[in-house]
Chains A and B, each alone.
Chain A
Amino acid sequence: MKRVVHYINQFYAGIGGEDKADQTPLFKAELVGPGVGLAKELEGKAEIVGTVICGDGYYGEHTDEARAACLKMIQDAKPDLLVAGPAFNAGRYGFACGDIAATTAAELGIPTVTAMYHENPGVELYSKKTYIVPCADSARGMGKALKGIAALAGKLLSGEKLGPARLEGYIHRGIRKNFIHEKSGAERAVEMLLKKLRGEEFRTEYEMPKFNKIPPAAPVKDLKHATIALVSSGGVVPLGNPDHIRVSSAESFGKYDISALDDMTAQNYESVHGGYDRVWANEDPDVVVPLDVMRQLEKEGVYGKLHPIFYTTTGTGTAVAFAEKFGKEIGEELKNAGVDAAILTST
């Protein structure tokens, strides 16, 4: 019989509520709380060999210690699979379930399953690192959640290949598998378009990432005295690409002193961008980073001063998370340097 360890918090263990949230990790070689119902659902497929209990407050405030202690208890029980929760819409419990499930999967190499309400912050943090069964926002949905966990756990333990997340009943992990479809991409795209035009439901095969919007910053009040910075994702770098910025899927940006430079030419700068035809950019990088005319306008007094540092990266195949990280870091530097505005060029 396959062995399952169950992780729950102090509340579902019957120890107490918020007043006992500082409960340190403990192991019981028995079914506790929702484990009773889970064991019934798993009957014939697996047996719950023990329960790890930890207070949500303790896990959240002493995460490193809690994680290490819980992992040790789980490892000692030699499970084939870990179930954590369900956490419903409890934020700290969701964090703890996601964290211990992700850690156990990574450290012990066994499948781990938890269940959460789709808005639980644990979903965004851990959906790529463990299997999260979507469930209701409160314990009223316990029965259904346990059924969903048990069905997925049974499949994972059997070693059968998993189908798409929506059919297997978990929140997708961002994993795409290749297979031969009976219809070509063109046919499928046209079918989707027709459905969209008819106002019918359709399912995209490639979800767009969700982007945030922010309120616009206040305008520049005094252009004649403003310092303006140049930033680009067009892959323009000093000749030879000294910092080895990737030609695509960049994980870094470069910053270069242009205070002594009036013009980007084929002799001092080049484009390494792997996502567009670089013929024009390499003949004259100003067509991507408008340094020459910025200098001219600076001399004419149209604006105050060109910021001496130019920031650059490659914006093709670059992960949104990296682009946002570059933006934060560059933004901090511009702020500290007292820059008033920036012009960002993209290809």
Chain B
Amino acid sequence: MTREIENAAGIPVVQIATIVPIMLTVGANRIVPGVAIPHPTGSPELGKAGDKATRRELLLRAFKAMETEITYQTVFE
């Protein structure tokens, strides 16, 4: 889905998910590793503030990924 959106729209699509090898296999180009399968963009165990801080850090990394010129699939750690 990531790949086809990128292909059809011609825009960068950053995928945030947990299992990086799957994203590489299906052809995502800009990858941000998520926290966990059932909560990729949050850390509920850290409480409200910690959870939001996690999300903020991930999204800022996603922005950096979409602003970065790349020539092949890249994982933004």
A137 within 8 A of B: no
For chains A and B in complex, what number of residue pairs have CB atoms within 8 angstroms? 200
Select which of B4, B29, B66 is within 8 A of A324 by beta carbon.
Answer: B4
Render B18-32 as a binary contact track against A, CB cut-off 8 A, 1 for contact.
100001011111100
B11, A341: Cβ atoms closer than 8 Å:
yes
- Given A284-B42, A342-B11, the answer on whether A297 and B59 have CB atoms closer than 8 Å is yes
Bound Cα distance from A293 to B52, whole angstroms: 7
B17, A213: Cβ atoms closer than 8 Å:
no
Bound Cα distance from A271 to B56, whole angstroms: 21
A217 within 8 A of B: yes
On chain A, the residues within 8 Å of B51 by CB distance are 284, 286-287
B69, A343: Cβ atoms closer than 8 Å:
no
Distance from A297 Cβ to chain B, minimum over Cβ atoms (Å):
6
On chain A, the residues within 8 Å of B13 by CB distance are 217, 231, 341-344
Minimal Cβ-Cβ distance residue in A for B14: A343
A219, B69: Cβ atoms closer than 8 Å:
yes
Render A281-302 as a binary contact track against B, CB cut-off 8 A, 1 for contact.
1011011111011101100001
- Find residues 44-77 in chain B having any chain A CB closer than 8 Å to their own CB: 44, 51-52, 55-56, 58-60, 62-63, 66-74
B38, A347: Cβ atoms closer than 8 Å:
yes
B9, A339: Cβ atoms closer than 8 Å:
yes
- Given A223-B67, A231-B5, the answer on whether A281 and B39 have CB atoms closer than 8 Å is yes
Render A196-236 as a binary contact track against B, CB cut-off 8 A, 1 for contact.
00000000000010011111111111010010100101100
Distance from A170 Cβ to chain B, minimum over Cβ atoms (Å):
28
A310 within 8 A of B: no
- Find residues 103-133 in chain A having any chain B CB closer than 8 Å to their own CB: none
Distance from B72 Cβ to chain A, minimum over Cβ atoms (Å):
7
User: Dominant SS at the B interface?
Assistant: mixed
- Given A219-B69, A327-B3, A331-B6, the answer on whether A347 and B42 have CB atoms closer than 8 Å is no
- Given A214-B29, A297-B59, the answer on whether A219 and B1 have CB atoms closer than 8 Å is no
B11, A339: Cβ atoms closer than 8 Å:
yes
On chain B, the residues within 8 Å of A69 by CB distance are none
Distance from A215 Cβ to chain B, minimum over Cβ atoms (Å):
8
On chain A, the residues within 8 Å of B10 by CB distance are 217-218, 335
B11, A334: Cβ atoms closer than 8 Å:
yes
A211, B25: Cβ atoms closer than 8 Å:
yes
Select which of A221, A234, A294 is within 8 A of B40 by beta carbon.
Answer: A234
Bound Cα distance from A276 to B37, whole angstroms: 7
Distance from A295 Cβ to chain B, minimum over Cβ atoms (Å):
11
On chain A, the residues within 8 Å of B2 by CB distance are 327, 344
Distance from B17 Cβ to chain A, minimum over Cβ atoms (Å):
4
On chain A, the residues within 8 Å of B58 by CB distance are 290
Question: Could you jot down 30 A-B contacts, CB within 8 Å?
Answer: A213-B3, A213-B73, A214-B27, A216-B6, A217-B11, A218-B69, A223-B63, A223-B66, A228-B66, A280-B39, A281-B38, A286-B41, A287-B39, A288-B38, A288-B39, A297-B60, A302-B60, A313-B1, A326-B1, A327-B3, A328-B4, A330-B8, A335-B8, A341-B13, A342-B11, A343-B14, A344-B15, A345-B17, A345-B41, A346-B17
Q: Which of B's residues lie within 8 Å of A, judged by CB?
A: 1-18, 23, 25-30, 34-35, 37-42, 44, 51-52, 55-56, 58-60, 62-63, 66-74
Known: A342-B5, A342-B9, A344-B5. 12 other contacts (CB 8 A): A214-B3, A216-B74, A228-B66, A234-B40, A280-B42, A287-B40, A296-B56, A303-B63, A327-B2, A332-B8, A347-B37, A347-B40
